[in-house]
Amino acid sequence: MRKPNYDKTPATPVEGNIFIGWENIIPEIQAVAAERQVIVETYPGVYEDEIIKVFSEALGPVVNTRSLMRSEEDIRSMTQPFMTDDVLFGYLTSLRINDFFNEAKLTAARDSTPKVIVGVGASLAAGENALIVYADMARWEIQRRMRLHEVKGIGVDNRSDAVSIQYKRGLFIDWRICDIHKDSLFGKVDLWLDTNDPFKPKMIDNETFIQGIDKTVSSPFRVVPFFDPAPWGGQWMKEVCDLDPDKPNYGWCFDCVPEENSLLFNVDGELFEIPSQDLVLLRSRKLLGGPVESRFGKDFPIRFDFLDTIGGGNLSLQVHPTTQFIKESFGLPYTQDESYYLMDANEDAVVYLGLKTGINPEEMLSDLRAAQRGEIVFDAGKYVNKIPARKHDHFLIPAGTIHCSGAGSMVLEISATPNIFTFKLWDWGRLGLDGKPRPINIERGSKVIQWDRDTEYVEKNLHNHFEPVANGDGWEETRTGLHPYEFIETRRTRFSCPVTFNTGGGVNVLNLVEGEEAVITSPSGAFPPFVVHYAETFIIPAWLGEYVISPSGIAKGGSCMVIKANVRF
């Protein structure tokens, strides 16, 4: 294994003002607010009780927006069609923030103009010339707090719900509503609060915030990776990414999932954290490019993450829904087509992919149901192709294809971005990290499995579908996929000299899959040199156009390799 140089806290340097700790934040708000009303908008997951306590002690009585909302019973009834009775899946809401409020109470609050209003939707009750403070929150921290049962939903106290149910409310209802509402507030917010670390709150002004956004989208950048354990988790990332060796395992690394990840601004030596989704919302045209934005709106459509099973176990045998199914069942416009790129692999590593030619679908489904009842151990090798996996192999997985990474692999998963739309068919008889069986979705899976993706189909279309594209002195480019049914194109470039790329008008996402270090530069000097290290994922905003990648540092004079993903159009 190589010496770790993976950067876990990539940050954009920003000039501006930052205030650390409530003892410095509150006096600044008092000075800026003067006689103005103070509105503190909070994203779900923010410790609103703490903020209410701090602001009430400094500024007097505080109105909590929960007191202005409809009853919890009404809100649960209103949101039930989107929550559904399923343990995992819901339906994407069409509700908006106003739907959660009692209009009479909201009007009364506007008319009385209380000095301080705190909570989700606080700006709806704001009087004229109010000072608006936004307390934002990264989703990785929200999920951590959900596991501690510390997060309330919009208008409901659902802290005692199972974590999967809390996450479902966030994904299908609360986060969507709050992102749409936040998008309408960017031109009105005066100050931004970062309380991701509850013991070290930080605040910047809007000028500093916008400068950070604009500097980030004006250069290659990385979002902040976060790592999570898994029932099948491995040991590879501990060393390569310099993680806590005492943890049992790390299964996941989310290294480019803007809805989940965060961004860091380095302001006067202090790190200020915001959701990376804020950048997508504010600068979608520059980031995504016109053709991609016209298709996906303010959604970042490409996802890179790691799945580490080296020293771990098999992932669940699973299938993703087809586009038609995900539209009809969950209200999503596109599905999780994906692929497995092998960063590393043990000698005995395998990938389960597609169905063996000639299997009987009804017999397989019958065995899956029997295994789910605990009557048999499902024989995956009887029905599913078990393919040896080697470093730098690429397996393509269009929706509807049964698949599973086996033990002994380090997978860079390149996929579309829908988050939890995986139908597990068999989980090898194990329990989840909470000590309970993980939800199995055989019946849903049976409706989307593409039974014609058999052995011959896999070998012809889904396994190492490599096509040389171009080459020159010291470099070669290969198309590695994806499948024609998938909207993402992936190309791999090996180089021992500077190589010129072009975004082509659409966002590019890359990972340095070989080589210790590389540097990205602009031929026109549009941005300063940007250094990346082995296994780091980085984003090239669409509007940057031409860029050059060169071996750098200890890799200079040697060979590097990147894999690049973009949206076909």
Angle ∠(194,139,120) on CA atoms, nearest 5: 65
Q: Where are the domains of the chain?
A: 12-217, 228-461, 467-567
The pLDDT, as a whole number, for residue 77 is 98
Is residue 419 pLDDT above 80, yes or no?
no
Determine the residue type at 132. Answer: I
Determine the residue type at 20. Answer: I
pLDDT digits (tens, 9 = 90+) for 216-266: 999 999 999 999 999 999 999 999 999 999 999 999 999 998 888 999 999
Place 3 in a pLDDT band, splitting at 50, 70 and 90.
Answer: low
The pLDDT, as a whole number, for residue 427 is 95
SS3 sequence of 19-62: EECHHHHHHHHHHHHCCCCEEEEECCCCCHHHHHHHHHHHHCCE
Is residue 326 pLDDT above 60, yes or no?
yes
The pLDDT, as a whole number, for residue 2 is 57
In CATH terms, 12-217 corresponds, of 3.30.379, 3.40.50, 1.10.3470, 1.10.287, to: 3.40.50
Place 8 in a pLDDT band, splitting at 50, 70 and 90.
Answer: very high
| Whole-number Å distance between alpha carbons of 163 and 155 | 18
The pLDDT, as a whole number, for residue 555 is 64
The pLDDT, as a whole number, for residue 422 is 86
Q: Which of 514, 533, 520 is nearest to 5 (CA)?
A: 533
The pLDDT, as a whole number, for residue 337 is 87
Average pLDDT over residues 116-127: 97
Place 553 in a pLDDT band, splitting at 50, 70 and 90.
Answer: confident
pLDDT digits (tens, 9 = 90+) for 52-66: 999 999 999 999 999
Average pLDDT over residues 280-307: 96
Average pLDDT over residues 450-463: 96
Same fold, 12-217 and 467-567: no
| Whole-number Å distance between alpha carbons of 216 and 223 | 10
CATH superfamily placement of domain 228-461: Jelly Rolls (2.60.120.10)
The pLDDT, as a whole number, for residue 543 is 97
Which segment of 64-68, 216-220, 438-442, 483-487 scores lowest on mean pLDDT? Answer: 483-487
| Whole-number Å distance between alpha carbons of 395 and 392 | 10
Is residue 426 pLDDT above 80, yes or no?
yes
pTM for the structure as a whole: 0.95
User: Which DSSP category does 268 fall into?
Assistant: T
Which segment of 1-15, 141-155, 289-303 scores lowest on mean pLDDT? Answer: 1-15
The pLDDT, as a whole number, for residue 420 is 64
| Whole-number Å distance between alpha carbons of 440 and 115 | 51
Q: Which fold has domain 467-567?
A: Jelly Rolls (2.60.120)
Strand ranges for 369-466 from DSSP E: 384-388, 394-397, 403-405, 409-416, 423-426
Chain-wide mean pLDDT for the chain?
Answer: 94
Name residue 63's beta-bridge partners.
117
Place 134 in a pLDDT band, splitting at 50, 70 and 90.
Answer: very high
Is residue 30 pLDDT above 70, yes or no?
yes
